[in-house]
Amino acid sequence: MRKKILFICMGNICRSPAAEGVAKSILKKKGLSETVEIDSAGTIDYHTGEPADPRMIAHAARRGYNLNSLARQFDPEKDFQHFDYIVTMDDENYKYIISLDEKNKYRDKVFKMTGFGSNKSVNEVPDPYYSGNEGFEIVLDILERDGINDHSAPRKYGNKTLHLKLEQRIP
């Protein structure tokens, strides 16, 4: 059965499309593109239908990533049921997504991106929108080194464990 991962940030134009692009690239290199569905969304609808921020597209392209998705807003009616894993970029978005699950039916599907890396000093993927070129590079560094990579450590979230190792099928 094909697993489905949804990456979430606020506007779906910087961090979550970058995570989507990095994940798709790793899966393609490993020959696993058909085994995992990857998508991204935002918690707000301000940028719906827009491509990723041109600065994020440029920084990602320099590292070989293609960011070609269009922004959309998280749809709790569909996305909670459709996706196996909902991975947020920061505390604010994590809390917001959890708050949309009023009956606590899907809480075990929601994770923070930085929960997968071994670097305990990185707590969030910071929003680069107002931080200049360095901010976009930091986001990509975190995604590659501390989030989506070929050696991410399994993480416990209460009674649930998720292995975000894209060189293997996600359990």
Measured distance between the N- and C-terminal CA atoms of the chain, rounded to whole angstroms: 10
3-state secondary structure of 81: helix
Sheet containing strand 36-42, strands side by side:
36-42, 3-9, 85-88, 110-112
Place of tokens 């990456």: 7
Among 5, 7, 10, 1, which residue's Cα sits nearest to residue 126? 10
Active site residue 108: no
Identify the active-site residue in 9, 53, 79, 146.
Answer: 9
Among 84, 83, 109, 78, which residue's Cα sits nearest to residue 94? 109
Cα separation, 133 vs 29, whole angstroms: 27
Identify the active-site residue in 14, 15, 90, 146.
Answer: 15
Identify the active-site residue in 39, 53, 127, 146.
Answer: 127
Active site residue 63: no
Cα separation, 99 vs 54, whole angstroms: 31
Active site residue 9: yes
Among 118, 110, 112, which residue's Cα sits nearest to residue 146? 118
Q: Which residues are catalytic?
A: 9, 15, 127
